[in-house]
Copies of this chain bind each other. A is one copy, B any other.
Amino acid sequence: MKVQLRVNMNEALFLRNPEETDLGKKIIKYSILLIHKNGFESFTFKKLAEESGTTEASIYRYFENKHRLLIYLVTWYWSWLEYQISFQTNNMADPVKRLRKVIKLLTTTVEDDDSTSYVNESLLHQIVISEGSKSFLTKHVGEDNKLHFFKPYKDLCAVIGNMILACNPDYKYPKSLASTIVEMAHFQNFFMHNLPSLTDFGLKKEEAEIVDFLNDLVFTSLNKS
């Protein structure tokens, strides 16, 4: 059985839906490759056009600017991850086990998923680590938020926040702890690889250590009487 996974994206993010055309899928595919390779700062629509065998003008027919495209990629990832979480924690009765699973999914390198042909989730995961924060750390975060660009991120955090409450209904900061887990799953990964003295994982550089740290952080907070 082959199932095709399709992520429902906010229509305000694009001018023309990239999922619906070959060119659109190429734009997504090569934007992931290019941003992963050279970083978001040096990424331009001109380079993307060359790489994907089209013209700058054509890309502007899909996305207003490169920042919108970044938000598109990042929120695609959050939506996809929330789906992965709901799929993989389905039928898990124990809320603690569910939360442990979530921490592992957030932290661990994802394998490329064949059910989404033009998106390389593994590269996208690394992009979200390095560039994800830039999607909201702007002066126009308020307007972008009004357009609901960050809904997938907020939804994911809300899901995690509810799992936290399922573990301990009396815990006072479920939302803040949820966003802390998500951000730290990525920041500790970035630090481990680039500024290792900011972590305790400089020697082995294994994601499993980040998982241990986050598990310790979260469950000591939730288990106190």
Contacts and interface: CB of A to CB of B under 8 A. Distances in A.
Nearest to A41: B138
Interface string A139-155: 10110010000100110
Copies in the complex: 2
Nearest to A39: B139
Interface in A104-155: 130-131, 133-134, 136-139, 141-142, 145, 150, 153-154
A133 B137 contact: yes
A136 to B, nearest CB: 7
A133 B142 CA distance: 19
A198 interface: yes
Nearest to A157: B198
Interface in A171-225: 172-180, 183-184, 187-188, 190-191, 194-195, 197-201, 210, 213, 216-217, 220-221, 224
A interface, size bucket: 35 or more
A195 B154 contact: yes
Contacts of A210: 176
Q: Is the interface of A mostly helix, strand, loop or mixed?
A: helix
A90 interface: no
Contacts of A158: 197
Contacts of A39: 138-139
B198 A154 contact: yes
Contacts of A42: 139
A194 B154 contact: no
A216 B157 CA distance: 20
A184 B42 CA distance: 28
22 contacts: A39-B138, A39-B139, A41-B138, A130-B137, A133-B133, A136-B195, A137-B190, A145-B195, A172-B200, A173-B200, A173-B217, A174-B200, A175-B198, A176-B188, A176-B198, A176-B201, A176-B210, A177-B213, A177-B217, A179-B191, A180-B180, A220-B224
